[in-house]
Structure 1
């Protein structure tokens, strides 16, 4: 099936060529879309150079940095307009193992049981059996585990790593979960889409990965991203218990 790997970038000029090369090696039949948010370090120019050298690599330039969620939504729109059947989220910092891409793509390519709903989303998970994290300090481990535990409790879902950013979607699933209503960012964006896929009746599968903390550049994680996630998850959990099971956009 035709696949598009979407890689958002902001100041990733050192990491980007390595990540793109790894993706091209592991899934040479897939296309890559770099979504650059006008990086001041020249990442956008590096992306242009990569597209000039490889017809499977494309770039979408955005005028400003408005959040990871907005970057992925722009990438989804680009890929859906061009008829790609599977769309993949992947970080540009090297934390997501490219060698797990074939497994993610395979997981959403066919039903797990004949005649059943095909999986709508495959997540590269740090917190299922076999998953792991390398080079994270204790407070990051606690934050990620705590955020996912809170999401499971508040939302009544069983996903172990709903904040994960390494994932593959079927195109028809993305078309059916009202992306135009999504107004979430960071951790919250990933939880939002996970919830929408589940509420649309599709299966979500988690595949173990080894997540490795970046060695070059700076993390984009901030307290505001965490606070947004906590606030929205609390609101969604309240609605799911006492109102309709529909993801909030407020």
Structure 2
């Protein structure tokens, strides 16, 4: 993917403290990438921070959404921008440094042989920092719950640290995904269908600055939405086509 046109997409709400440091780190590890921040009118001035960075570096841009909120719709806005602008690959990571920008090259490299790459906390063992046992068990349980209902076969269905071939995103109707919170992540995989997926081991670190966006509404959606996916599976009359595990040196579906 070295010759590919790459966009790193970051969704933000009240991340001014983190984003000023994160964007330069992204560009440090993937200097050929452009960076797009989609901000939901953060009252802490996140968009202004990114705008200042954009004035210093043409690779940086920001979309500030007014009157619209939600992780899922913000991701869709960024992905649509990537497709329309002719990017070949989209990398996504959280704005709070829970995903290490140093791992971005691994996700990008893995796109040579896959349509989607996932920075997995649980492939080849558990790799999380600053979580208590309860939080870890909840995350593992959530992934098992999603896999059971949706038919997805990824180890870490809920990781937002990913790489996508834009061609894979362009093949589906992103607007059909109505999820506003983090349940967007497994639903996008479900919607993509029979793509090739590679899970890359990464270490996840709990945020040190800022507040979590995990509200009661987001949690409720994460519990209920997989049942919608299960109903869609039944409606199709068959199990959703599982992701195709890629072998080393294999080619992705689109080059």
TM-score, length basis structure 2: 0.88
Deviation at 1:89, TM superposition (A): 1.4
Counterpart of 1:216 (choices 192, 206, 209) is 209
Q: Any gaps of 5 or more consecutive residues in structure 2?
A: 241-255
Measured in 2, the distance between the counterparts of 1:166 and 1:245 equals 29
Alignment of 1:16-31 (within 5 A): 16-31=19-34
The alignment of Structure 1 onto Structure 2 pairs a total of residues equal to 237
Alignment of 1:180-191 (within 5 A): 180-191=175-186
Q: Judging changes above 3 Å, is the alpha-carbon distance between structure 1 residues 58 and 155 closer, same or farther for their aligned structure 2 residues?
A: same
Q: Judging changes above 3 Å, is the alpha-carbon distance between structure 1 residues 130 and 143 closer, same or farther for their aligned structure 2 residues?
A: closer
Counterpart of 2:172 (choices 157, 177, 180) is 177
Measured in 2, the distance between the counterparts of 1:75 and 1:202 equals 20
Counterpart of 2:102 (choices 99, 117, 128) is 99
Q: Contact conserved, 1:130 with 1:209, CA < 8 A, in 2?
A: no
Deviation at 1:130, TM superposition (A): 4.7
Q: Any gaps of 5 or more consecutive residues in structure 1?
A: 112-118
Q: Judging changes above 3 Å, is the alpha-carbon distance between structure 1 residues 217 and 245 closer, same or farther for their aligned structure 2 residues?
A: farther
Q: Contact conserved, 2:71 with 2:182, CA < 8 A, in 1?
A: no
Q: Which residue of 1 aligns with 2:218?
A: 225
Q: Deviations over 1:6-39 (max 9, x none)?
A: 1111111110011111101100010000111111
Q: Contact conserved, 2:151 with 2:239, CA < 8 A, in 1?
A: no
Measured in 1, the distance between the counterparts of 2:180 and 2:127 equals 24
Counterpart of 2:123 (choices 125, 128, 131) is 128
Q: Deviations over 1:104-126 (max 9, x none)?
A: 11111x23xxxxxxx21100011
Q: Which residue of 2 aligns with 1:116?
A: none
Q: Which residue of 2 aligns with 1:79?
A: 82
Deviation at 1:152, TM superposition (A): 1.3
Q: Deviations over 1:199-227 (max 9, x none)?
A: 2x211111111111111000001232122
Deviation at 1:186, TM superposition (A): 2.4
Deviation at 1:183, TM superposition (A): 0.6
Q: Contact conserved, 2:187 with 2:229, CA < 8 A, in 1?
A: no
Q: Contact conserved, 1:125 with 1:131, CA < 8 A, in 2?
A: no
Deviation at 1:90, TM superposition (A): 1.1
Measured in 2, the distance between the counterparts of 1:37 and 1:105 equals 27
Measured in 1, the distance between the counterparts of 2:23 and 2:237 equals 42
Q: Contact conserved, 1:132 with 1:210, CA < 8 A, in 2?
A: yes
Measured in 1, the distance between the counterparts of 2:99 and 2:143 equals 18
Q: Judging changes above 3 Å, is the alpha-carbon distance between structure 1 residues 148 and 178 closer, same or farther for their aligned structure 2 residues?
A: same
Q: Which residue of 2 aligns with 1:3?
A: 6
TM-score, length basis structure 1: 0.90
Q: Deviations over 1:129-154 (max 9, x none)?
A: 15511112333212211110111112
